[in-house]
Structure 1
Amino acid sequence: MALQASVMNLPGVGIPLAESSHSPSKVLCLTEAIAMEVLADDEEYEEILEDMREECCKFGTLINVVIPRPSQIGEQISGAGKVFLEYSDTSSCANARNALNGRKFGGNTVNASYYPEEKYHNGDYGA
């Protein structure tokens, strides 16, 4: 009985899971991976897009890579500076998250978190 009581007192036990960066999905969001000034240069942008595709397909079947960017200088756009990776399944996405989270890219430490699929498919790249 003492063992059962101690298990019940674990943090988070009995709390329902909410849709968050911890809920597995097929979409991964990378932050701190790209400097905003790189987004303005078409050539650099295309190179980074290709590098992301090449590197991130190593973790599973990669469906799409989206890197939102402003169409003109000074324009504010939701999700600018983030990288969204869409995988065919949650297992591939989890592999990518485990490999990419905390990794250095361009001198920055990448933060990789699951992103809600519905928001991604609706083009909602905000918070």
Structure 2
Amino acid sequence: MGRHCRARLGRHPRRTHQDLLALDPHYRIESFSTKLGGLRLQVADRFREGEFDGEFADRVAALTDAAESFSEQTCELCGAPGRIRFRGEGPQIWMQSSCEQCRTRPTHPDRHDVHQSRHPASP
């Protein structure tokens, strides 16, 4: 997992968590990171009576795929509709999902003080 992972779940995190809880109240996230500007989420496989639970794996894959896809279309900074964009300049370039308004906001991938949750009021 990346040291400073700030990706959002795309869909509301509580909803994704509730969906996973409905499948297995003891589900476990194996990894949560960003790659190419989007969320990457892996849930541990489940075994029942020593056998791999393929149905569980398929249902989890559908949920995590939806969350990952949605994260690529949701601004990491404010939650508005967005898309993957290149950020930074020179040797400090990274990919980040952002909306049109937030794409020019100064930011750095290692900052922990993630930006205001809403756009500043227009003059």
TM-score normalized by the length of structure 2: 0.29
TM-score normalized by the length of structure 1: 0.28
Which structure has the larger Rg?
A: 1
Structure holding more strand per residue? 2
Structure holding more helix per residue? 1
